[in-house]
Amino acid sequence: MAQRLRLLAIETSCDETAAALVTQSFKVESSIVASQARAHSAFGGVVPELAARMHLERIAQVCAMAMEPVAGDWTALDGVAVTRGPGLIGCLAVGASYAQLLAAGWGLPVVGVNHMTGHVLAASIEDPELEPPFVSLVVSGGHTDLIHYRTHTTVELLGATRDDAVGEAFDKVARMLGLPYPGGPEIDRLAELGDPNRFKLPRPVLPDFAFSFSGLKTAVLYLIRDLGELDQETRADLAAAFRLAAVETLCIQLEAAVEHTGCRRVVIAGGVASNRLLRETARRRLQGLAEVTIPEPRYCTDNAAMIGAAGLVRVSTHGFDAAPVDIDPGLRQYA
Ligand code: KG4
Ligand code: ZN
64 CB neighbour count, 10 Å cutoff: 12
- The pLDDT of residue 3: 53
- Inside any domain, residue 334: no
Confidence grade of residue 56 (pLDDT, cut at 50, 70, 90): very high
Neighbours of ion ligand 2 (CB under 5 A): 140, 302
* 141 CA from centroid of ligand 2 (Å): 7
- The residues pairing with 144 across neighbouring beta strands, listed in sequence order, are 139
Does 248 lie in the same domain as 101?
no
Please check the confidence at residue 246 and state whether its pLDDT lies above 80: yes
* 197 CA from centroid of ligand 2 (Å): 31
- Inside any domain, residue 79: yes
Q: Whose CA is nearest to atom 23 of ligand 1?
A: 184
Ligand closest to 46 (CA) is: 1
Cα–Cα distance for residue pair 315/24, rounded to 1 Å: 11
Does 308 lie in the same domain as 293?
no
Regarding the beta carbon of 295 and ligand 1, being less than 6 Å apart is answered no
Buried-state track 192-208, b at ≥16 Cβ within 10 A, e below 16: eebebeebebeebeeee
- The pLDDT of residue 290: 98
**35 sits in which H/E element:** strand 27-35
Question: Span 271-295, mean pLDDT?
Answer: 98
Does 288 lie in the same domain as 202?
yes
Say which residues have a Cβ less than 8 Å from residue 207's Cβ, sequence separation at least 6. Answer: none
Please check the confidence at residue 35 and state whether its pLDDT lies above 90: yes
Say which residues have a Cβ less than 8 Å from residue 120's Cβ, sequence separation at least 6. Answer: 136, 138, 147, 149, 267, 269, 310, 334
Regarding the beta carbon of 270 and ligand 1, being less than 6 Å apart is answered yes
Regarding the beta carbon of 132 and ligand 1, being less than 6 Å apart is answered no
Does 272 lie in the same domain as 177?
yes
- The pLDDT of residue 2: 45
Confidence grade of residue 248 (pLDDT, cut at 50, 70, 90): very high
Please check the confidence at residue 1 and state whether its pLDDT lies above 70: no
* 269 CA from centroid of ligand 2 (Å): 9
Confidence grade of residue 333 (pLDDT, cut at 50, 70, 90): confident
Does 16 lie in the same domain as 77?
yes
Regarding the beta carbon of 308 and ligand 1, being less than 6 Å apart is answered no
Please check the confidence at residue 58 and state whether its pLDDT lies above 70: yes
**Domain extent at residue 38:** 6-122+303-318
Does 284 lie in the same domain as 152?
yes
Using a 10 angstrom Cβ sphere, with 0-12 exposed, 13-18 middle and 19 or more buried, the burial of residue 258 is: buried
Please check the confidence at residue 42 and state whether its pLDDT lies above 90: no
Regarding the beta carbon of 118 and ligand 1, being less than 6 Å apart is answered no
Question: Quick check: 110 and 321 in contact, CB under 8 A?
Answer: yes
Using a 10 angstrom Cβ sphere, with 0-12 exposed, 13-18 middle and 19 or more buried, the burial of residue 69 is: middle
Does 114 lie in the same domain as 152?
no
Q: Give the CATH number of the domain where residue 140 resides.
A: 3.30.420.40
- The residues pairing with 35 across neighbouring beta strands, listed in sequence order, are 16
* 137 CA from centroid of ligand 1 (Å): 14
Does 264 lie in the same domain as 284?
yes
Q: What is the pLDDT of residues 149-192, one digit of tens each?
A: 999 999 999 999 999 999 999 999 999 999 998 999 999 999 99
* 184 CA from centroid of ligand 2 (Å): 13
Regarding the beta carbon of 275 and ligand 1, being less than 6 Å apart is answered yes
What is the SS3 assignment for 34?
Answer: strand
Q: What is the mean pLDDT of the chain?
A: 96
Does 110 lie in the same domain as 193?
no
Ligand closest to 142 (CA) is: 1
Q: Whose CA is nearest to atom 8 of ligand 1?
A: 271
Cα–Cα distance for residue pair 240/226, rounded to 1 Å: 18
Cα–Cα distance for residue pair 126/295, rounded to 1 Å: 5
Q: What is the pLDDT of residues 111-122, one digit of tens each?
A: 999 999 999 999
Q: What is the pLDDT of residues 189-238, one digit of tens each?
A: 999 999 999 999 999 999 999 999 999 999 999 999 999 999 999 999 99
Pairing of strands 79-85, 6-11: parallel
* 103 CA from centroid of ligand 2 (Å): 24
DSSP string, 285-334: HTTTT-EEE---HHHHSS-SHHHHHHHHHHHHHH-S-SSS----TT----
* Cis upstream peptide for 182 (omega within 30°): yes
Does 193 lie in the same domain as 66?
no
How many domains does the structure of the chain reveal?
A: 2
- Inside any domain, residue 328: no
Does 142 lie in the same domain as 82?
no
